[in-house]
Every structure is written in C-alpha cells, then in structure tokens.
Amino acid sequence: MVDLPKLELSKLDLPGQWERITADWAARGQDIADELAKRVKQESRSFARREQKLERSARGWLASPSGRVAGAAVLGFVAGVAASGARKVAMQGSEALAGDWMAVLKAEHRLAEGLFEALLKTTARQKTRRAALFAKLSYALEKHALQEEMVVYPALKETHVDGMAKHLYADHADMKILLHELAETSKDDPAWIERLRALQACVAHHVSEEETDVFPRFHGKMSPQQNTKLTLMVHREGLKLA
C-alpha cells in the first residue's frame, strides 16, 4: 500500500503543506493516483452500505405511530448523515487529481453526473434515498461552484477569454435557483423529478462549455507556474466546505 501524505488541518501553514504535498504527489506519480482511486472506491461502497442500512431502519420506524409523527425529522437526520459521508468522498475524489486544477474540476463534474444518474433512478416512494442523494448533490455543486467562482472565473476575467466569466457566473445563478426549488419541493411530488431533469440539463450544458472550450483555452494561456498556483488556490477554496 502506498503511504499517502496527510494534510494536517490543525497547523496554520496550509499553503506550505499544499505545496509540499503537491510536489510529493507529482514526483510519485501513478502509484499515488491509483491508491487514492482505490480508497475513494472503498469509501463509496462503505457509504452506500451505511445509507441502505439507515434507509431500512428509517422505513421500519416510520411505519410505527411515533415514527409517522416524527417522519420529517428522520428524513432530515438521514440526509444530514449522508451529506457528511459525501463530503469525505467528494474531497478525496478531487484530491486524487491534485496535480492540475482542470483535472480536479473535471473529476468533480463526473461526480455530479453520477449523482444525477442515481437520483433519476429513484421513485417517488424512495423519499429517504432521494433526500440523501440530493444532499450529496447539493454539497458537490456548492463546493464546486465556490472553487470556480472564487478562483477560476476571476482568473478567466483577467485573461479575457472571450468574456466567458460573466456567462459562467450566470449559469451558476440559474443552477442555484433550481437547487433552491428542489430543496423546497417534496421529494414525492411529480414536479420534483422534472425540476431535477431541468437542473441536470443546465449543468450538462455548462460542463460542456467549460470542458470543450473555455477551460482548455484558458489552461493553454497560463504558464506551468500559473496553473500550479491556480491548483493550490482551488484546493484551498474546496477545504472551506470540507
């Protein structure tokens, strides 16, 4: 097993730690990437088992008289536990590609796409599962938006890549409106799944623009040193929501 470097959050020198870890990862290459991918997969499987166990327990309790009265509280609790596990998986997934900011953001795009697919497979009767998966999706999109809005888009604006920064900010605003509507709509309402599809389409169009056009051109305009600095800044923003 590869001995992975650890980030010590109790220490104040986060920039210095990130620089040392990034340099170490770059030097040790594929072994570390493979090990991190393995750990993310193991964590994902473990989280899925915990989620299924919680869902079974919640259903049993909801069938009782006391459970029916406090059903909303149970759903909130399960969603909260799910979000906590999702944060760990999402952070590990993005850090597995720590050598480059564009690769990190692409990996987070794939994570969101997987969550959309899982949500679209649920039925109106699976309110607990929908709540848990939606909590994971909301966190993933929130963290991703923070990294782009606080680091990448301001840098885009400075390099004048076709004035795309304002357009991408506007896309994020549309997504946040849809996320709010989904949060306020009952998970068994037929309108909920339609709003989810609308959000998925919005995200897919946004991702396509970034990955096929904006990010590659922007990445090419930057020097290796500038891309490395951007990568460190992206990770720092992501840590704020870890």
Taken in order 101, 104, 108, 109, the sign of the CA dihedral is positive
Assigned token pair, 63? 């069938």
Residue 173 in domain: yes
Residue 1 in domain: no
pLDDT at residue 200, rounded to an integer: 98
Residue 8 in domain: no
Residue 99 in domain: yes
pLDDT in tens, the chain (242 residues): 545 445 444 444 555 655 565 556 555 544 545 555 565 556 556 656 666 666 666 566 556 555 544 444 444 444 454 445 545 444 544 444 445 899 999 999 999 999 999 999 999 999 999 999 999 999 999 999 999 999 999 999 887 665 789 999 999 999 999 999 999 999 999 999 999 999 999 999 999 999 999 999 999 999 999 999 999 999 999 888 76
Domain of 155 in residue numbering reads as: 14-239
CA distances from 37 to 42, 75, 86, 141 (A): 9, 31, 15, 21
Residue 2 in domain: no
pLDDT at residue 155, rounded to an integer: 92
CA distances from 72 to 2, 64, 75, 103, 132 (A): 44, 14, 5, 39, 13
CA distances from 31 to 20, 36, 142, 153 (A): 17, 9, 30, 32
Taken in order 219, 225, 226, 229, the sign of the CA dihedral is positive
**Total domains, the chain:** 1
Residue 80 in domain: yes
| C-alpha to C-alpha distance for 181 and 175, rounded to whole angstroms | 10
Are 231 and 98 in contact by the 8 Å Cβ rule? The answer is yes
How many CB atoms sit inside 10 A of residue 221's CB?
14
CATH code for the domain of 156: 1.20.120
pLDDT at residue 239, rounded to an integer: 86
Residue 5 in domain: no
pLDDT at residue 202, rounded to an integer: 97
Residue 4 in domain: no
pLDDT at residue 2, rounded to an integer: 47
